[in-house]
Amino acid sequence: MSGSVTVSIQKDKCTGCGLCRLACSFDKNGVFNPNASRIWILDGDESGFYPNICRNCEEAPCLDACPAGALVRRREDGYILLNSEKCVGCNMCVMVCPFCAIGRMGDRNFKCDTCNHLEKCARICPHGAIQFEKPAHSRANKRRKLAGLLTAKTGGKEKW
């Protein structure tokens, strides 16, 4: 799966505008409805917002839990897809997903499919809070930032 991209969340950048949720629901259902979105903004009040979305786990509990074969891993990019047609609505995946990244409308569940690599949420986010990148790339970025912080003359003020 080394070639695939993963989602990387910069939580301090999120302002809670909800645009990503509307972009998602419009893409998937042609409607503006955050409840139909595959991304959630967890509102921690004073502690900020967290855009929450499927991480496409390497060892995905949802995949193992689904009794109906509705969840499958796509070979080309390692993404986990939920086939709503096959979903029996038993909620096993919801129970085991550590991120609560599976939603439900009516009696069927749904999850992020990255809009087939168009990642509508990341594209609309005005503040770059959601990014999809290759894991290696994401690690390299993080290290670069860290290097800057660790080597800069910060007078001990900078926090990281």
Partner 1 sequence: MQAVKPVEILTVDLSSREITRDKIEDVELIKKYIGGRGIATYSLLSSMDPEVDPYSPESPIVFAPGVLTGTIVPCSGRTTVLFKSPATGRLFKTNVGGHFGAQLKFAGYDILVVKGRAEKPVYLYIEDDRVEIRDASHLWGKDVRETNRLVRKENDDPEVQLACIGPAGENKVVYASIQVSIYNAAGRGGGGAVMGDKNLKAVAAKGTKGIRAAHPEKFMETVAGLWNKMNEVSGVKPLSDYGTSIGIESTNAIGAFPVKNYQQGNIDNVKYLTGTYLVEGGFLKRKISCYSCPVACHRFVTVDEGKYRGVYTGGPEYETLSALGGGCLSTDTAGVIKANELCNILGLDTISTGNCIQWLMECKQRGVVSDGDAGGLDLTWGNSETIIDLVGKIAHRQGIGDLLAKGLKAASEELGRDSYKWAIQARGLEQSRVETRSAFGYALAFAVNSRGPDHLNTECLAEFGGSPEARALIKRITGSEEYAYPHTTEKRADIVRWHEDIYGASDALGICAFPTTAQFWMDEWDLAGLFRNFTGIEVSHEDMMRAGRRMIVMERCFNAMLGHTREDDVLPYRLMNEIQHDAMHDNAINSAELLDKMKDEYYALHCWDIEKGLPTKETLCELGMGDLIEKITGYIELK
Q: Does 56 bind ligand SF4 (CB under 6 A)?
A: yes
Question: In terms of Cα–Cα distance, which of 80, 86, 87 is closest to 104?
Answer: 87
d(CA 52, CA 99): 7
Among 33, 84, 91, 138, binds partner 1 (CB under 8 A): 33
d(CA 40, CA 51): 6
Q: Does 24 bind ligand SF4 (CB under 6 A)?
A: no
d(CA 112, CA 95): 17
Q: Does 62 bind ligand SF4 (CB under 6 A)?
A: yes
d(CA 30, CA 36): 10
Shortest distance, position 111 Cβ to ligand SF4, whole Å? 5
Shortest distance, position 156 Cβ to partner 1, whole Å? 14
**What residues line the site for ligand SF4 (CB under 6 A)?**
14-20, 41, 49, 51, 54-57, 60-62, 80, 97, 99, 101-102, 111, 124-125, 127, 129-130
